Structure 1
Amino acid sequence: MKKTLKISLIVLGSLLALTLLLNIGFSLWLKYKLPDYLKNKTPYEISYQSLNVEILSGSISANQIKVKTKQPDDLEGVALDGTLEDLYISRLGLVKLLKDNQIEANSIKLKNPNLKIRLSKPKVDKVAKEATPFFIKNIEIENGNLDVTQFNGTKYFSSRKLNLNIKNLSLNDNPSELPFALDSYKITANDFFFLMSPAYSINSSKVVTNNGQLSINDFELKPMLDFKDWEKSFKNQKSLFHIKSKNLSFDDLIFSKTKLSLKNAKIQEPEFIIQNRDNKIVKSNDKKSNFNIDFQNLDIVNGKLSILKSNGNQSLSLAQFNANIKDFLMDEETSKSKIPFTYQDYKITGKKFFYDAGEYYTMNLSTFNMTPQNIDLLNFKLNPKISRAEFVRMIPMEDDLFDISANRIQLSGLKWKFENDKPNISLKTVKLHQVDANIFRSKIPKDNPKEKLLYSKLLRTIKFPLVVENLNLIQSKLVYEEDKPDSNGPGKVFFTDFNMNVKNLNSNKQKGANTKVPIVINCKFMGVSPMKVNWNFDTGNMRDQFTIGGYINNLPANDINPFIKPYMNITATGTITSLNYDFKGNNDIMNGKFRITHKDLKVSVLDKDTKEKKKFLSAIANLVVKKDSQKFPESVDIYVERNKERSFFNFYWKGIEDGLKKSLLVIKI
């Protein structure tokens, strides 16, 4: 047994001694032959003051190095031109270097490098992907000035006063993951430039790390092409981006092959400019990304945003905004959802928001404030781009032109989620303060034959659950004008001091839930007469049944002339002391009771074409109109059939009109 152990130890010792002798021999050979190899076997002229090979560690160091490419016009290899004060390489993979021209080392340190590097021309006819020309786990650069260009002279990378320390770097060829990972890094650099793709470069006046924080001054993600050239060259991309920021800073920035993580990111005074192409993009075949993004806290301070059309005109702009997002996460699991990320909380505020809302409108906000539960908008405006006359000429058939403003819009108690790829939205309260809405319709274009849905059915067409517990319109003004080709100016009706409460506004998509929608309106009709409306419908009722009733008091007859004149060809004087109605209907018909009391009421019957007073018919009409009605008169029955090419409010007005005709004009004129 002792003899066997002795023999084993002798054999093992001999092998170790042989390995050590071979390593020492190879290192001695390298020490004396490397200068000759560098001079005769490489494409560079290399000189140095001293060269040292450490036999036991396998490390190489040199100082006062000068390097220059022997054939600078040869684009097949990497061209070098410059100097290094000191170079240190540890654990160099000599076999890879001598056999495959690949640099593999544990670490490399360059002191005061002043280098111009031109990359080699890619091989067009290559079958397999070329191996990475270097693999170094730890890289240190001290006070470097580097300029790297592509084979065609295009700037690729440059930096002044570069100090870099990277630990445990690993490269990654998987396009669905991050291109590299590392354990830690430190960097300071001036005048930093990096060509990240043929379309974009990254620029910065200064990059520095301090106590784990990375700070980037005068950051710019800059397009390398103007929009027209980019549009031709990148047909599978929809948008061209240009991003600037006075300063970017990050804490605990972590890179791995599958994760980008940071804490306390802060972006100061950024400007985001996005220009979109008009035509459809060609679908890309890029594989889905597998890496995660995790921002624990992200702040954007005094940002600006512009989204441009392809012609350079503004599509959307935001003069100033601030944002804070907490615990943002995008990973493989969240990417399966309709919204491919999650967050814990956010707050966004902004000023001077503008949006080009299509062919006819622009939208503006003076300020806004958004959190996950609440949205607050100030000075909302939806304004026409064109005049009424231009609108009438442009539309192929009847349509409404809106001019709407609101001092404030508040949404509170907002909850939303996705279920079965559909949103589920609920709101506690929506408040619209001091809305001023003008709705204009011309009867000159041809009729729109499309059916106008009643509101119960219109809400049912929403394909996802939606519930608004309370919607309030506060101290508002609504104006409706309708212009007929045979009338002198538009018929007009308006409501001031308009207050409305709608409860349980819903889309009938929640099983077993209450679907009834009660609406109460208090306002002044034509700006002077108190008016109240009670309106009820049920989104769960397939016949779209509804009830609507109310009253108007102390209405000067002159105030309704702007609307009854174009439609009934009459005008009136005197006072309607009360007007009461109680209607019920469905998608086909409406009926109910209508009654008025009046004082000193007289009517004038007008010629349909000239709008001149017909004296004889007016006299006859006034014979049958009760001039004074102190006590409540007997009601009249109204009945109207719905024209489904007209809106609910047209249907509603037809009921009022029928009641007025039967009350004011007992005989048919």
Structure 2
Amino acid sequence: MKKTLKVTGIVVGSILLLILIVNIGFTLWLKYQLPDYIKNKTPYAITYKTLNVEILSGSISADDILIKSKNPNDKKVLAIDGFVDGLNVSRLGIIDLIKNKKINTNSIRLTNPRLKIRLAQKKTKDSVKEPMPFFIRNIDITKGNIDVINPDDLKAFSAKNLNLEIKNLSLNDNPNELPFALDSYKITAKDFFAKISDVYTINSSDVKTNNGQLEINDFELKSILDFKDWEKSFTKQKSLFSIKSKKISFNDLVFDKAKLNLKNAQFINPEFVIQNRDAKIIKPKNTKKNGIDLNFANIDIKNGTLSMLKSNGEKSLSLAKFDANVKEFLMDDETSKNKLPFKFKDYKIVGNTFFYDSGKYYNLSLSSFNMSSQSIDLMNFKMIPKMSRAEFVRTIPMEDDQFNISANRIQLSGVDWTFEKELDLHLKSAKLHNVDANIFRSKIPKDNPKEKLLYSKVLRNIKFPLVVDNLSLINSKLVYEEDKPDNNGPGKVFFTNFNLNVKNLNSNKKKGTNTKVPIVINCNFMGVSPMKVNWNFDTSDLRDNFTIGGYINDLPANDINPFIKPYMNITATGTITSLDYNFKGNNDIMNGKFKITHKDLKVALIDKDTKEKKKFLSGVANLFVKKDSQKFPESVDIYVERNKERSFFNFYWKGIEDGLKKTLLIIKI
């Protein structure tokens, strides 16, 4: 037994002695031969004050290291010029480095590095060699001043007074994921700059971490190219971005190879600018999802501005000031399958002075808005034509409406929407206050032969589930003007103190929804006469049946002259004390009852060509005008066939017109 222990002790002692001799020998080799090796075998001239190597622990340390490239003009080789006060490498696999040419170390620490680095040119395919495997788990840089430039002498990275600590770093070769992952980091730096792609750079006056929070001051993301050059060089990209922010901060930033998580991101005074190309981007089919999952617990934007520009630099959208908050934003493999490739739990956006260029004919604007996942509140909405009426008529290829619409306030409440396979929108209430809508149509352009659908079919053709429980227009004004080329002047009808209520507005796409749509209107016709309308249809009715009825009281006949003169070549005086009607129809015909009572009513017939009063025929007509309406039947039957190239309201007016003709005159003159 004693002999065995003695032999074992001798063997172990011999091994330890051998390791010690090798360690001393390798240290002596490094001390006396490494300078010659560096001088003859590397592209760098390196000097140092001290160098210590421990084979057992794999530790290397050196002080006062001076490094210079032997041939700084050779852009095929990485160029380094600078000084490092101290270098410490721990647990370096020295045998692995010598035998397998693989760098595998636990940590590297650089003290006060002052380095200028020029990256090497990319190698051609024929000359590319497999890069040396490189594994460094922990990095520590103290008081660094580092500048990195590309082979074209453009800056790639720079930082002053850089202090960086990275724990458990791992690199990743998957191009669809983050290039690295790490457990934790700490950083402070001044005048930080980095080129992050072939298009974008970021810079900041100050970067620091404090108790797990990263703060970036005077942040800027911008393009290194102007828009014209970017548009030519990056044809598959739709938009060019720039972001400035006085301060950006966030907590618990986690880099995983396939995930980027953070909490409580905050942007202070950010300026977002997006410039879009005009040409559409054709997306390749069967594109793979980007492998990075984004999970942001809370995002805050304070006092931000937003501008979207056309390719010529003109604004297509702008927001002078806004605050925003988004909670639990998530974009991952599951959400990427939906039409909206992300989801969130809640959001709120408050903004002022919104502008949107909606195309060739209109601009939209808001003075302010307040939006959340449950409600939307818009103030001073305006939809303003870009052209005068004359310019609009000259521009349109065929007959169309020009709108000029404003609303003091638009309130949407009880908003419930999803956007997975398709949009699904449900509103409990929509209120539009003090709407002022002017609709103008000229009959000078040629007719538009396209069929005008009834509203039940318009709603039914919406491709997604839409339900609005209650829609109201409150204390509004509607004006419709139609300009005819026969010099009779524009036909004009308007409604003041207009109040409308619609229930169950729906697209007939959701099971269990009441598809019957009742509409009630109370207003003043032509600004003076009380008017009420009851209108009903059912979006599930494929024949598009509807009913519409109502009354107008105490209407001065002069007030309907702007409306009946262009269409009937008649003017009237006196008073229409009541006008009642009750129609029903479908996409083909409309019929029903029409009744009018009046007092001291007289008519004048107008010559269609000369626009002068036909005195004789007017006199004859007034012999047959029902001056005392009580002597005639209470109502007349109307019947009209629908011109499907005209709107529902044209169809509706034709019924009123038929009733007026049959009640104002006994015979057709």
TM-score of the superposed pair, with normalisation by structure 2: 0.96
* Number of the residue aligned with 2:661: 661
Contact 1:495 1:527 in 2 (8 A): yes
TM-superposed CA distance for 1:373, in Å, is 1.3
Q: Which residue of 1 aligns with 2:215?
A: 215
Task: Give the conservation status (yes or no) of the 8 Å contact 2:626–2:632.
Answer: no
Alignment correspondent of 1:362: 363
Which residue of structure 2 aligns with residue 314 of structure 1?
315
Tell me which residue corresponds to 1:527. Answer: 527
Matched, 1:36 2:43: no
- Structure 1 position 561, deviation (Å): 0.5
Cα distance, 1:511 vs structure 2:
3.2
Q: Distance in 1 between matches of 2:599 and 2:88?
A: 107
Shift of 1:51: 2.4
Structure 1 residue 35, shift from structure 2 partner: 2.8
Given that 1:31 and 1:53 are in contact with CA atoms closer than 8 Å, whether structure 2 keeps it comes out as no
* Matched residue type, 1:214: L
For 1:453, the equivalent position in structure 2 comes to 453
User: What is the CA distance between 1:36 and its match in structure 2?
Assistant: 2.7
Match of 1:67 in 2: 67
Counterpart for residue 271 of structure 1 = 271
Specify whether residues 228 and 9 from structure 1 end up closer, same or farther in structure 2 by C-alpha distance, changes over 3 A only: same
**Counterpart in the other structure of 1:561:** 561
> How far apart, in 1, do the equivalents of 2:101 and 2:282 lie?
40
Distance in 1 (CA, whole Å) between partners of 2:559 and 2:493 is 9
Judged with a 3 Å threshold, the aligned counterparts in structure 2 of structure 1 residues 197 and 284 are, in CA distance, closer, same or farther, namely farther
Helix, strand or coil for the counterpart of 1:34? helix
Q: 1:488 to 1:284 in 2, by over 3 A?
A: same
Alpha carbons 2:323, 2:350 under 8 Å: kept: yes
Superposed CA offset, 1:605-661 (max 9, x none): 101122111100110111111334468852111110000000000000000001111
Cα pair 2:193 2:202 within 8 Å, conserved: yes
The equivalences for 1:93-242 within 5 A come to: 93-94=93-94, 103-126=103-126, 130-131=130-131, 134-242=134-242
* Alignment match, 1:538: 538
Shift of the 2–397 alpha-carbon distance from structure 1 to 2, 3 Å rule, reads farther
Cα distance per residue 1:573-615 (max 9 Å; x no partner):
1110000001111111111111111111111110112211110
Deviates more, 1:359-368 or 1:32-41: 32-41
2:631 and 2:249 map into 1 onto residues whose CA distance is 79
Paired position in structure 2 for 1:617? 617
One-letter amino acid matched to 2:590: M
SS at structure 2 position matched to 1:112: strand
Shift in Å, 1:322: 0.7
Q: Is the 8 A contact 1:465 1:509 kept in 2?
A: yes
How far apart are 1:11 and its partner, in Å? 6.3
What secondary structure sits across from 1:246 in the alignment?
A: strand
**Does structure 1 conserve the Cα–Cα contact (< 8 Å) formed by 2:519 and 2:536?**
yes
> Matched residues in 2 for 1:103 and 1:564: separation?
93
Residues 488 and 565 in structure 2, CA contact (< 8 A), matched pair in contact too: no
Query: How far has the Cα of 1:127 moved from its partner?
Result: 7.0
Q: Look up the equivalent residue of 2:396 and give its one-letter code.
A: I
Deviation at 1:20, TM superposition (A): 5.5
Asked if the contact 1:250/1:263 (under 8 Å) is kept, the reply is yes
Aligned to 2:87: 87
Tell me how far apart the structure 2 counterparts of residues 17 and 533 of structure 1 sit (CA, whole Å).
Answer: 108
Q: Does structure 1 conserve the Cα–Cα contact (< 8 Å) formed by 2:331 and 2:341? A: yes
Pair 101,631 (structure 1): closer, same or farther in 2 beyond 3 Å: farther
Match of 1:415 in 2: 416
Deviations 1:95-137, CA, capped at 9 Å, x for gaps: 5666787654322222221111001111012476742674322
Shift in Å at residue 395 of structure 1? 0.8
Equivalenced residues, count: 668
The equivalent of 2:50 in structure 1 is 50
**3-state SS of 2:566 partner:** helix
Where does structure 1 lack aligned partners over 5 or more consecutive residues? none
Contact 1:354 1:365 in 2 (8 A): yes
The letter for the 2-side match of 1:195 is K
Letter in 1 for 2:576: I
User: Are 2:327 and 2:344, in contact at CA under 8 Å, matched by a contact in 1?
Assistant: yes
Q: Classify 1:516/1:311 alpha carbon distance in 2 versus 1 (closer, same or farther; 3 Å).
A: same
- 1:653–1:207 distance in 2 versus 1, CA, 3 Å: same
Kept after mapping to 2: 8 A contact 1:459/1:506: yes
List runs of 5+ in structure 2 lacking aligned partners: none
What is the CA distance between 1:49 and its match in structure 2?
2.5
Displacement after TM superposition at 1:175 (Å): 0.9
**Which residue of structure 1 lines up, in the alignment, with residue 495 of structure 2?**
495
CA separation of 1:259/1:517 partners in 2, compared to 1, >3 Å: closer, same or farther?
same
Deviates more, 1:236-245 or 1:62-71: 62-71
Pick closer, same or farther for the CA change 1:99–1:623 going to 2, 3 Å. Answer: same
Query: After the TM superposition, which of the residue ranges 272-281 and 489-498 deviates more from structure 2?
Result: 272-281
Point out the more displaced range, 480-489 or 400-409. Answer: 480-489
Distance in 2 between the 1:500 and 1:2 partners? 109
Aligned equivalents of 1:50 and 1:475: distance in 2?
88
* AA partner of residue 407 (structure 2): A
> For residues 320-399 of structure 1, what are the structure 2 equivalents within 5 Å?
320-399=321-400
CA distance 1:6–1:623, change in 2 (3 Å): farther
Is the Cα–Cα contact under 8 Å of residues 235 and 282 in structure 1 kept in the other structure?
A: no
2: CA distance, partners of 1:134 / 1:68: 23
Q: Amino acid of the residue matched to residue 310 of structure 1?
A: S
Contact preservation (8 Å) 1:273, 1:306: yes
1:113 aligned counterpart, secondary structure: strand
For residue 351 of structure 1, give the secondary structure of its aligned residue in structure 2: strand
- Cα 1:71–1:311 change in 2 (3 A) is same
Q: 1:79, CA displacement in angstroms?
A: 0.6
> Which segment drifts farther, 381-390 or 10-19?
10-19
Q: Greater shift after overlay, 38-47 or 243-252?
A: 38-47
Q: Name the CA distance, whole Å, in 1 between partners of 2:597 and 2:381.
A: 41
TM-score when normalising by structure 1 = 0.96
In the superposition, relative to structure 1, how do residues 95 and 598 fare at CA in structure 2: closer, same or farther (>3 Å)?
same
Query: Residue 494 of structure 1: CA displacement?
Result: 0.3
CA contact (8 A) 2:103 2:132 kept: no
**Cα distance in 2 for residues equivalent to 1:631 and 1:550:** 23
Distance 1:130 1:531 in 2: 85
Do structure 1's residue 463 and structure 2's residue 463 form an aligned pair? Answer: yes
Q: Is the 8 A contact 2:55 2:94 kept in 1?
A: no
8 Å CA contact retained: 2:626, 2:666: no
| 2:593 is the alignment partner of 1:593 | yes
User: Equivalents in 1 of 2:400, 2:97: separation in Å?
Assistant: 76
SS in 1 for 2:428: strand
Paired letter, 1:297:
N
Question: Which amino acid is the alignment partner of residue 568 of structure 1?
Answer: M
% same residue: 72
CA RMSD, 1 decimal: 2.2
